[in-house]
A = this chain, B = another copy of it.
Amino acid sequence: MKYPRTLQNLIECFQKLPGIGEKTAERLALSTLKMDQEVVDVFSKSLYDVKTKIKKCSICNNYTEDDICEICKDDSRDQDVLCVVEDPKNIMMFEKIGTFNGKYHVINGLISPLEGINPEDINIPQLLERIKKENIKEIILAVKPSVEGETTSLYISKMLQNTDVIVSKIAHGVPLGADIDYVDSLTLELALENRKKISNGD
């Protein structure tokens, strides 16, 4: 015996979400039966809406309901600093800190020759064009420190070599609160290499 068809369908839908296995999908689907009707209605409608209403910003590729996202519209932000990120969700992480006041550019992926992803396949040409058009003075590369991330950073900085655009990269090192025992050796190597002088030893 299985669950009734509609319930089984919902369980299968939950299972399609990342990190949700059979047991959890079952638990989540059953929990919706105990929710208020209005809550489930909003849930159902939100799912539908999100797919139809959410678009990518035509300037920076961030998620937006309009043509241009809130950040690109915001004139109070620095107009000549761009933070380059891989995914729109990274924007939200920087926004939560709240100290960066420039704009963003989402490249939607990283260069990966092995997987056949070339600079043209992600939004790098669009980024380079934007830098020229908007007269950007500095770009901060905030992609993950993997082989693909490093390749992408290297490619972008090479493309901007003969311009006067400053290219920087976010710092890599031991995260705050982490026990050095548990930090991988590559991170430790980077942390050592990028050490910061705190006293002159006078």
Contact = CB atoms under 8 A, between A and B. Distances in A.
Interface of A: 1, 3-7, 9-10, 13, 16-20, 24, 26-33, 35, 37, 39-51, 53-54, 63-65, 69-71, 88-89, 91-92, 95
**How many copies altogether?**
2
A63 to B, nearest CB: 6
Contacts of A18: 27-28, 31
Nearest to A39: B16
Contacts of A64: 4
Q: Which of A18, A46, A69, A89 has the most CB of B within 10 A?
A: A46
B47 A51 contact: no
B54 A44 contact: no
Contacts of A5: 65
Contact of A89 (B4, B30, B54): B30
Contacts of A41: 48, 51
A51 B71 contact: no
Contact of A13 (B10, B43, B70, B91): B43
Given A6-B65, A44-B44, A95 B1 contact: yes
Given A44-B44, A47-B44, A54-B6, A13 B28 contact: no
Contact of A10 (B20, B39, B46): B46
B47 A10 contact: yes
Q: Which of A3, A16, A40 has the most CB of B within 10 A?
A: A3
Contact of A40 (B4, B48, B70): B48
Nearest to A27: B18
